[in-house]
Amino acid sequence: MRNEKVFEWLSEKGFADRVIDHTETIDTVEHAAIQLGCSEAEIAKTQFHTKPSMIPRDHVEKMTGSIPGGVCPFAVPSGIPVWLDVSMKRFFFIHPSAGNEFTSVKLTPDELEQASNAVGWCDVCKGWE
């Protein structure tokens, strides 16, 4: 079942045709990479706040609007800035979740920036170069 709020968001941005429905869970980076047939590095992980950290599981849906395993940079509550890590620019396509643990979206880095209304790009990932 799709996250309708995220699907509507992606539709308005022109990326609804990029949403992929999975039969198996993509709730972890490993599961998503297996389902998509790509490297784990091509899976976009979502983190919030000024210092990257994982949100406690029991706070995830309230803070992000998505369930654990499906947090994405689309249709997030107002006031939460979305920043993208520059390490993702090295891939032609990247695969963030589309709002739950059974959907993803295949986007180029520029498309991800456009679809997420990102504030900008930052360098968070270590050792990727």
| Higher pLDDT, residue 46 or 41 | 41
- pLDDT score, position 56: 84
pLDDT of 76 > 50? The answer is yes
Residue pair 22/102 in contact by the 8 Å Cβ criterion: yes
The verdict on residue 31 lying in a domain is: yes
pLDDT of 10 > 70? The answer is yes
The answer to whether the predicted template modeling score (pTM) of the entire model surpasses 0.75 is: yes
CATH number for position 65: 3.90.960.10
- Residue range(s) defining the domain that contains residue 23: 4-121
The verdict on residue 127 lying in a domain is: no
The verdict on residue 45 lying in a domain is: yes
The verdict on residue 46 lying in a domain is: yes
Measured CA to CA, the distance from residue 118 to residue 73 in angstroms comes to 8
- pLDDT score, position 66: 80
Strand partners, 121: 84
| Strand duo 19-21 + 103-105: pairing | antiparallel
- For residue 123 the two structure tokens come to 């360098």
Q: Residue 37 has what DSSP assignment?
A: T
Q: How confident is the model at residue 49 (pLDDT cuts 50, 70, 90)?
A: very low
Which residue spans within 17-91 are E strands per DSSP? 19-21, 83-85
The verdict on residue 29 lying in a domain is: yes
The verdict on residue 63 lying in a domain is: yes
Total domains, the chain: 1
